[in-house]
Structure 1
Amino acid sequence: MGHYIEVEPNVNVYVEDVGEGTPIIFIHGWPVSHKMFEYQQTELPKHGYRFIGIDLRGYGKSDAPWSGYDYDTMAADIHAVVTKLELTDAALAGFSMGGPIAIRYLSKYKENPISKLILLGAAAPIFTQRDEYPHGLEKSGVDDIISNLKADRQAMLKDFGGMFFHQEMSDAFNDWFLNLGLTATPHATIHSAEALRDEDGRVDLASVHVPTLILHGKHDEICPFEFTSFMNEGIAESTVVPFENSGHGLVFEEKEKVNHEIVKFLKG
């Protein structure tokens, strides 16, 4: 079932809540929605898990205020949802931009019900290059993305989808995936790109004190596989599982392996 939760006055986020058992909260990436986890939503409840997919503010069915697309505010939104649902002993899974937001949530809210963390193609600890962090896009590359969003958002998102996958995807799938991105509010798409460009989550990693599974495509052109070495080094109890046949879209390209690794990790 789906329902709305008020995360701040007059701002509601949409939550898809399916199945019973141990809760797994899924945080999507830029610029899509919880619907990107279709193949987890259809599979994990069979194994006794409760799928909870949050549409971040500005995305999917959630409200889209003008501001609040920084990681701190997004983490506060997750906190509001988790508190309202009164979850216990839950797992938290973050894909791409959802990864550093999930980590920021654990860093900011020490009293939380999260017992395990899953990072999928995470844009963590930083999406853009910095001193002593030579991986990812240059900030100017994100500036170009933002300019293209303002000039022709539809074409930019189609090109972005083309970078997403290592495997050849069907035309029908590509149309569906593009539509997920087009459903997002334009200003949220731009403001979140600014957050991806500017946020630095390196100090957050040491705040993760739960077992962490890092799943990442070896051919990722958006969040390079090199990111995993920083996450693995910074998160004390973490394990990296490489996906040899995936780009950024590992939840689609090797969905059976993703689900297998998640279930194995949660049952372990």
Structure 2
Amino acid sequence: MAFCKVRKANIYYEIIGTGTPIVMLHGYSPDHRLMKGCMEPVFVEREGCKRIYIDLPGMGKTTDYETINNSDEMLVAVVELIQSLIPNERYLLVGESYGGYLVRGILREYHEQILGAAFICPLIIPDKPSRTVPEQSIVSADKEFISTLTKQELDDLSSHLVVLNENNCLRYTNEVLAGQKMADVEFLEKVQKSYGFSFAVDEMIFDKPSIFLLGKQDSMVGYKDAFDIIDKFPRAAFTILDKAGHNLQIEQADLFNSLMHEWLDRVKEFND
């Protein structure tokens, strides 16, 4: 647990393990606990990776970010952090939602250093009205569990999850909601006015092992838009999971772990 001072932020980070660095980038408004909650189980039986979890500016414990005004400057802060923590090292990237958008920004400039990339429910189109998304829906619910919830709790969980049961709701509360409660809402609203990069982000082809994990019921970013960039990732697996919304990593945890292992195996084979 430490802080790294870059030009426009003092970024909180945690490092677990040793070996090949993996930089984990969470989505918009939660904090590093989202990534830690889904990625650490992957490494219970896997060694050789140094996991770097960060809180993006305006989120979690990161401070001194007020002069960041847009996603371009958010990206610069993340790149400066990476260059400070692992200078001249090759590394992996894992991005969830907005974190996946930042990963594409990093790939554009630094693809030669990057060994592979994983995208969890990635933001493809920053402009919300332009996204192709399904309606929010509940596909599975534990009736006994939901009968214990207040109307407010049920309404909140039903707008963010598509599989309602005690385990999913507990993980969502601890890994997602806990971080969102710490977010600087005013700052995030400011950055959202310049949410898209000022440059074309998908100009290059990234030909190293990658994975896109997409939720069939993801009403936030959808899954169809990801296929617009499939040709930019010739070594990527594109997987659409049913019974999975924007919190796919929680709702399909076993498949998530399995697919992450498969991706990491491909990365190892490619780079050995």
- Decide: shared fold, TM above 0.5: yes
Task: Provide the TM-score with structure 1 as the length reference.
Answer: 0.79
- Using the aligned pairs only, state the percent identity: 18
Asked if 2 retains the 8 angstrom alpha-carbon contact of 1:121 and 1:216, the reply is yes
Asked if 1 retains the 8 angstrom alpha-carbon contact of 2:158 and 2:164, the reply is no
Give unpaired runs (5+ residues) of structure 2.
135-153, 267-272
CA distance in 2, matches of 1:169, 1:201: 41
Question: After superposition, what is the alpha-carbon deviation per residue over 1:126-175, rounded to whole angstroms, capped at 9, x for unaligned?
Answer: 44345xxx6259xxxxxxxxxxxxxxxxxxxx977643321104354454
1:190 aligns with 2:186: no
Q: How does 1:115-194 map to 2 (within 5 A)?
A: 115-130=115-130, 135-136=132-133, 162-170=158-166, 172-176=170-174, 177-194=176-193
Shift of 1:202: 8.6
1:34 aligns with 2:35: no
Question: After superposition, what is the alpha-carbon deviation per residue over 1:179-216, rounded to whole angstroms, capped at 9, x for unaligned?
Answer: 320111122331243344xx168931232423321111
Q: What does residue 253 of structure 1 align with?
A: 251
CA distance in 2, matches of 1:201, 1:165: 32
Greater Rg by CA = 2
The amino acid that maps onto 1:165 is L
Asked if 2 retains the 8 angstrom alpha-carbon contact of 1:126 and 1:202, the reply is no
CA distance in 2, matches of 1:3, 1:208: 34
Task: Provide the TM-score with structure 2 as the length reference.
Answer: 0.78
Aligned residue pairs: how many? 242
Give the direction of change, closer, same or farther, for the CA distance of 1:69–1:116 in structure 2 (3 Å limit): farther
Shift of 1:56: 0.5
Q: Secondary structure at the match of 1:164?
A: coil
Shift of 1:46: 3.5
Q: What does residue 55 of structure 2 align with?
A: 55
CA distance in 1, matches of 2:197, 2:99: 14
Give the direction of change, closer, same or farther, for the CA distance of 1:127–1:41 in structure 2 (3 Å limit): farther
Q: How does 1:189-268 map to 2 (within 5 A)?
A: 189-196=188-195, 199=196, 203-209=200-206, 210-268=208-266
Give the direction of change, closer, same or farther, for the CA distance of 1:97–1:110 in structure 2 (3 Å limit): same
Q: Secondary structure at the match of 1:14?
A: strand
Q: Secondary structure at the match of 2:187?
A: helix
Q: How does 1:51-130 map to 2 (within 5 A)?
A: 51-86=51-86, 88-107=89-108, 109-110=109-110, 113-130=113-130
CA distance in 2, matches of 1:135, 1:201: 22
